[in-house]
Each structure stands twice: as C-alpha cells, then as structure tokens.
Amino acid sequence: MTPVIRWFLLLLPLTACAVGPDFKPPPAPAVAGYTSEPTLPPTTATDVPKGAAQHFVPGQDIAADWWHLFGSRPLDDLVRQALAANPTLPAAQAALRQAVENVAAQRGSYYPSAAVELAGLRALTPLAALSPVSAGGTPYYSLITPQLNVSFVPDVFGANARAVESLQAQADSQRYALEASWVTLTSNVVAGAIQEASLRGQIAVAEETVEIERELLAILRKQQGLGQAAGADVAAQEAALGQAQQVLPPLRKQLAQQRDALTVLAGKPPSEEIGQRFDLDSLHLPVNLPVSLPAALVAQRPDVQQAEATLHAASADIGQAVAARLPQITLTAQLGNSANSTAALFTPGTNFWTLTAGVTQPLFEGFALMHRQRAAQAAFDQAAAQYRSTVLTAMQNVADALRALQADADSVQAAAAAERAAHRSLDIARRQLALGQVAYLSLLTAQNTDAQARLALVQAQATRLADTAALFQSMGGGWWHRPGEKPAT
C-alpha cells in the first residue's frame, strides 16, 4: 500500500461527525378528531336519489382507487386515461429524477477525486544563460509527463454530509410533490365528471321547463283565438318562455367548457373530445366514508410531508452554515513519471510524487458567515411555522368536508321537500286555472317556483357527490396504496 493511499485511509474516519442540529420529525397532532363532537352521527337520509345516509368510519383506510365507490365504469376509465396520458405526472417524475441525481452527485464529494494528466513538452534551452537540460548537451529537449492527481477534502465537520442531507430532503419533497400531483389529478377528474353530471341535470330541467312553457303558450294562443284568454296572459307567457330559454345558453357553455377541461385532463387536445359522458343517474353516492385519524393524516397528506421535508432541508442547511465557520482540511497528491521519450517512461529515476496538506480557518469575512448561519436558523423557524400551518390547514380541510357532507344531506332533504311542494302547488294551480278559479299570474308563479325547486334539487345532489370526493382528497387520496408506495412513518 503506497503512502498516499495509506494517508487517505487514515483520514477517512474524520468525516464521521457532522455539526449542526440532528433533525427530528415533528410530533403528530395530539387530538383525536376534527370536530368538537367525539363522533359524527350518520347524515340525514332522504328518499330521493343521492339521498341515502352517509356513515363516517373513523380510522378506516382509504383505497388508492377510491373513485370506484361512485360506481361508474366511465369514471374509472377516464381516471385511468388521465393517469396514463396527462403530462403533469411525467413532469413531476422528471423533477424527482433530477432531485435524486443531485443527491447522488453530492455524495461523490465523500470520496477523493482523481484525474489522469498527460503533458508533452518540446523546448530550446538558452545556452547563454542556462546549461543544457538534456543529457547529450543539445539545447533542444523533450519532456513527457504522465501523472495522477488526487485531491481530497475530509468532511471533518460534516459540511458535505449536511449538504447531502439537505438535497435528500429536497428529493423527498419532490417525491411528495409527485404524490400531490397524482392526488390532485385524480380528484380533478372526479370533480370534473360530477360537475358535468350536474350541468347535464340542470340542462335537462331547463329544457323540460322550456317545453312546458312552450306547450302552455300554444294553449293560451289557441284560447286567445277563441276569445277565452286575454292578450296580457299571452304576453306574460311569452315572457316566461323567453326567461326559461335564457337559462339554457350559459349552462350549455359551461358544459362545453367542462368537456374541454375533462378532455385536457385526459391528456388530449379539446378537438379530440373524450367518449365518456356523465349524468347524475350514473353516479352512485358512497355511503360508508373512511375518516383517517389526525395522527395518520400527517403521514398521508402529501402537502404535510412536503412541508416536513422542507423543514428537514432547512435543518441540514444550519449544519452547513456552522461547518463553513470551521477549519477546512485539503489534501492533494501527485504521482507520475517524467522522461525525455516515451521509451524512457517508467524507468528508474523518472518517477516522482508529492503530498500536500493544508488547513484553512476563516478569520474575518465581514461577519458574513455568522449572518449566514443566523439566516439559516431563521429559514428553519420559517419552515417550522409553515409546517404547523400546513398541518392545521389539512385538519381544517377534513373538518370542512365533514361539515359540508352533514349540511349537504340536509340540503338534499330540504330541496326534495321543496321540489315536492312546488310540484303539488303547480298541479293545483293548473287545475284551478282550468276551472277559472285563479288568475294566470298565479300559474306563472307556481311554474317558476317549480323550475327553481327542481334545479335546486339537482344542484344539491351534485354538491353532495362533489363534497364526498373532496373528503377523500382532503385525507390524502390513498396514494400510499399505489404499487411501491407507502406513507411516511
């Protein structure tokens, strides 16, 4: 073993320590639930589509393909298309690969660096000033020098170890950014499908209303021709028909734009519209809803894990800032040969080697190193506060979704009751008008109330479906059940 190699091996143990704080993951929230009630009762049940009672199951795990609970094959197919073709995921995967390679590159600093150099020289000796260099006395000479250069900076105080730790934490953050992209993409597809179903339901109600208004206008015009209806009633019905028709264009515009959005989510240009179509009848309401415990939520939410990884990186940056204020040892070695010709290389007397060691201790840099350490500590404090904020926001998202589902069930019940009452009122108004017992204005009022009640019921049913999907998203979306994935511990 050469003295150079022996020297480097003796100095390797000096890289074992690392200054600065050792990162400890923040503790899980010390709470048992998300709302003031210890357990949430089932939601209100109503005997209408999407009116079943929903039950909350604390601690139950979430499936990765939670959208299957909506019982729609077209929805399953569209989510699968989006996961396969949407460019968001490949972009996040590439960013993760970049972060992983940066970690590997930084780990290279743990080892000595070596380079091979080959130099050739042809020179003329100024004989008036110097003696001939060559053994033959000629002023011309050649020199060929192959050599190996080795340098090593022992990580005595762990600056490089902390740099690797910081980059690894950044790679972890990018990994959770990928998981967040997966959750967001699948949730957006489900939400978009529900929105399309809602718009189709509203359009169906509006078209039915227009048809009713058109038929009634035809009847009134016939009665006017027979002298049984006043011109004012016909004009009022024409206005009612115009108002009903006015509702349709904005809804159809929203539906077309929603179809474009879903097509793009599936990774296609809008001109290649997706084949799936969604309406409320094809979507089932999940009735048994898993509710993760708060301690599990922080391990499941990608944004919380991203915030923790950012906090970890900030902790490692403090160590780098501290190490920058401490001595740095540099070791270099050169081993080679130098001869006048290639034939003479590696012959006795042509080899050489040098060993160099140096220590650099910063003394004064205008307090820059001290302030950089303080800045790193401030960045850590900021990341810690942002982590706490992210955890609170995650818990609020779940609480809001739970409260929304409770209110949605009540809204569906109220909307269903209002729709039944409005329909009965309209039937009564029609019979009374036929018997001449009420003015035509009463029928118009009943028609408007009935149309609004049916629209409200459709919207309440769709909102309940959307908030159910939002609950799954707020709890992390089950990404840890994907092949090769697991939540943080």
Model confidence over 352-372: pLDDT tens digits?
889 999 988 988 888 999 999
Topology of the domain comprising 18-108+156-189+256-326+367-481: Outer membrane efflux proteins (OEP) (1.20.1600)
How far is it, in rounded angstroms, from Cα 286 to Cα 75? 14
CB neighbourhood size of 119 (10 A): 11
**For residue range 19-33, what is the model confidence (pLDDT) as tens digits?**
889 999 999 888 888
The yes-or-no verdict on residue 14 having pLDDT over 80 is: no
**For residue range 245-273, what is the model confidence (pLDDT) as tens digits?**
999 999 999 999 999 999 999 999 999 99
What residues contact residue 198 under an 8 Å CB cut-off, 6+ apart?
Answer: 280, 458, 459, 461, 462, 463, 466
DSSP 86: -
pLDDT (average), residues 290-299 = 93
How far is it, in rounded angstroms, from Cα 283 to Cα 190? 10
Residue 114, classed as helix, strand or coil, is strand
Residue 265, classed as helix, strand or coil, is helix
Is-contact 309 176, C-beta < 8 A? yes
Q: Alpha-carbon Rg of the chain, whole angstroms? A: 38
**For residue range 62-100, what is the model confidence (pLDDT) as tens digits?**
999 999 999 999 999 999 999 999 999 999 999 999 999
The yes-or-no verdict on residue 200 having pLDDT over 70 is: yes
The yes-or-no verdict on residue 376 having pLDDT over 60 is: yes
What residues contact residue 488 under an 8 Å CB cut-off, 6+ apart?
Answer: 299, 305, 308
**For residue range 237-246, what is the model confidence (pLDDT) as tens digits?**
888 889 889 9
How far is it, in rounded angstroms, from Cα 78 to Cα 450? 35
pLDDT (average), residues 331-338 = 90
290-305 core/surface letters (b: 16 or more CB in 10 A; e: else): bbbbbebbbbbbbbbb
Is-contact 341 144, C-beta < 8 A? yes
Q: What is the pLDDT of residue 4?
A: 47
Which is more confident, 121 or 387? 387
Identify the helix (H) or strand (E) that includes residue 119: strand 113-124
The yes-or-no verdict on residue 443 having pLDDT over 50 is: yes
Position of tokens 């081993």? 335
Residues present in the chain in total: 489
**For residue range 475-489, what is the model confidence (pLDDT) as tens digits?**
999 999 887 665 555
How far is it, in rounded angstroms, from Cα 319 to Cα 19? 5
Topology of the domain comprising 111-154+327-360: Outer membrane efflux proteins (OEP) (2.20.200)
Instruction: Enter the pTM of the model.
Output: 0.86
339: confidence class by pLDDT, cuts 50, 70, 90:
confident
What angle separates helix 231-265 from helix 73-85, to the nearest 10 degrees?
Answer: 50
**For residue range 210-232, what is the model confidence (pLDDT) as tens digits?**
988 888 888 778 878 888 778 88
Is-contact 58 291, C-beta < 8 A? yes
How far is it, in rounded angstroms, from Cα 156 to Cα 315? 19
Sign of the CA dihedral 195, 201, 202, 204?
A: positive
Q: Enter the tokens of residue 167.
A: 């980059």
What does the domain layout of the chain look like in residue ranges? Answer: 18-108+156-189+256-326+367-481, 111-154+327-360
Q: Enter the tokens of residue 135.
A: 């053994």
First vs last Cα of the chain: how many Å apart? 45
Position of tokens 């309940």? 464
Residue 291, classed as helix, strand or coil, is strand
Which is more confident, 38 or 43? 43
Q: Beta strand pairing status for 288-291 and 55-58? A: parallel
Helices vs. strands in the chain: H and E counts, helices first: 9, 6
Number of Cα atoms under 13 Å in the Cβ half of residue 393: 11
Q: Enter the tokens of residue 401.
A: 């979704």
3: confidence class by pLDDT, cuts 50, 70, 90:
low
Sign of the CA dihedral 289, 294, 300, 304?
A: positive
418: confidence class by pLDDT, cuts 50, 70, 90:
very high
pLDDT (average), residues 337-362 = 85
Sheet holding 328-337, edge to edge: 113-124, 140-152, 328-337, 351-360
β-bridge mates for residue 290, sequence order? 57
